[in-house]
Amino acid sequence: MIEVALFGAGRIGKIHAANLAAQAGVQFKYVVDVNAAAASALAALHGGVAASVETALADPAIKAVVIASSTDTHADLIQRAAAAGKAIFCEKPVDLTLERARDCAAAVAKAGVLCMIGFQRRYDPTFSAVKQRILQGEIGTPEMLVVTSRDPGPPPVSYIKVSGGIFKDMLIHDFDIFRWILDDEAVSVHATGSCLVDPAIAEAGDLDSTAVTIRTAKGRLCQINTTRRAAYGYDQRFEVLGSAGMLQAGNHKPTEVVAYSAHNVSADKPEDFFLERYRVAYANEMSHFFDALTKGTPLRTTVQDGLKALELAEAATLSWREQRIVHL
């Protein structure tokens, strides 16, 4: 039985708590949160107890930690957990600065512990099926990737101000998808964007609509379009063109009802937002983490993947700010 401590009792912490509780061979032990009441409530729900960071990391029975606290705590907790010899699952991003993220990677390497980054999209049934089918050669050599990644609505401007900007906060997932699907690294990035949704986002120094183009070492091309506000909901699609065909990853829907009216033929909108859309992905990634821990299966998303996505986010930010192509 692997005993586990969870850092963070917020929205995503609750998802991980439920998935930890459902994990065979895993004992959900501690919940750590600055909000003590939230920690206690979440712990009680799944048979654990609230605890401090120190207690959790000092307990030798704790073999693994799941970091789902606020972004500014990630680097510190990764470094301390690595020093304590714990296996680490950490939500994206590793940190908002490349420097601290690199420190984390170094700490993990030095400690020789597992460190998985929560790019949950790689564990989504649809997205991972596309990846498998590419690997099986179904579309020949991948050549071009088009990513559509749109949120149903913007977060509060107060959040946007501490988010690191849209490229680090939102597109970091898309940058990871790019690297994973094309199995290649960027050599140049062009990013542009606008504030079309809310002028307050512009005032906060950020964008709400972006268009990014990446070129890889092998000449492959990737285009990413994002918005903070799609009136029709959460839109998470990509398509990859290969020399022998094309694969599209479409949205998931709540039901398979089709309605014929006097006006049109309609189906459900996509699943509401990431908690619904990636419900299965979150469960799969947690199983993947423990499989890596107990069976030695290789991690699909490492701290290096976290660094690489962050580098792309930095490059995109620079490209947008300086209105130029950034070469990596």
C-beta closer to a copy of itself: residue 86 or 252: 252
Which residues, in sequence order, are CB contacts of 128 under 8 Å at separation 6+? Answer: 122, 284
Q: Does 317 bind a copy of itself (CB under 8 A)?
A: no
Note whether 225 and 192 are within 8 A (CB): no
Q: Does 126 bind a copy of itself (CB under 8 A)?
A: yes
Tell me the window of 50-58, 93-101, 169-177, 223-231 that interacts with a copy of itself (CB under 8 A). 223-231
Q: Which residue has the tokens 């049934």?
A: 125
Amino acid at 276: E
User: Min. distance of Cβ 110 from a copy of itself in angstroms?
Assistant: 39
Distance CA(307)–CA(265), nearest Å, equals 45
Q: Does 172 bind a copy of itself (CB under 8 A)?
A: no
Binding-site member from 19, 69, 163, 227 for a copy of itself (CB under 8 A): 227
Which residues, in sequence order, are CB contacts of 44 under 8 Å at separation 6+? Answer: none
**Length, in residues, of the chain:** 328
Binding-site member from 98, 211, 275, 318 for a copy of itself (CB under 8 A): 211
Q: Does 120 bind a copy of itself (CB under 8 A)?
A: no
Q: Does 222 bind a copy of itself (CB under 8 A)?
A: yes
Q: Does 114 bind a copy of itself (CB under 8 A)?
A: no
Please count the other Cβ atoms lying within 10 Å of the Cβ belonging to residue 71: 17
Note whether 148 and 270 are within 8 A (CB): no
Binding-site member from 23, 27, 40, 213 for a copy of itself (CB under 8 A): 213
Tell me the window of 70-78, 173-181, 289-297, 320-328 that interacts with a copy of itself (CB under 8 A). 320-328
